[in-house]
Amino acid sequence: KKYGPLDFIAAGLLCIGLVLFTLTDSMVSPRFNIIGVAIIICALLCDSVIGNVQEKTMKQHKATNTEVVLYSYGLGFLYLFIILMVTGELHKGATFSSNVSNFYPIVYYEY
């Protein structure tokens, strides 16, 4: 597969954005945590790979766009749910949201 100039420009802009984000974060907060940058880099790498994986899967299994999206989001949900259960963060989040009386209007109605 060949990539055009716009693809390279988009990749370059993503890299520049990541660098600027990192520099701004280190200037704003004196306590700089490299784990956040590693997570963002990992997310960008996964985001760049998922398109090719989905395209290959669609060709191999003759799947529709809807099926690919369903399985992508479904697997992502399961992975995150398991991670949240194992780390205990799901319980913390549920406890927080049940104790904050205005949580649901803020989340659902954006005020």
16-54 pLDDT per residue, tens: 888 887 777 666 766 767 787 788 888 888 888 888 888
Alpha-carbon dihedral 58, 78, 18, 21, rounded to 10 degrees = 150
Q: Flag whether the pTM goes above 0.85.
A: no
Cα–Cα distance between 31 and 50 in angstroms, integer? 33
Helix (H) / strand (E) containing 109: helix 103-109
For 90, the token pair is: 């799901």
Query: Residue 9 half-sphere exposure, CB side, CA atoms within 13 Å?
Result: 3
Length in residues, the chain = 111
Cα–Cα distance between 13 and 38 in angstroms, integer? 18
Find the range with the poorest average confidence among 42-46, 76-80, 100-104: 100-104
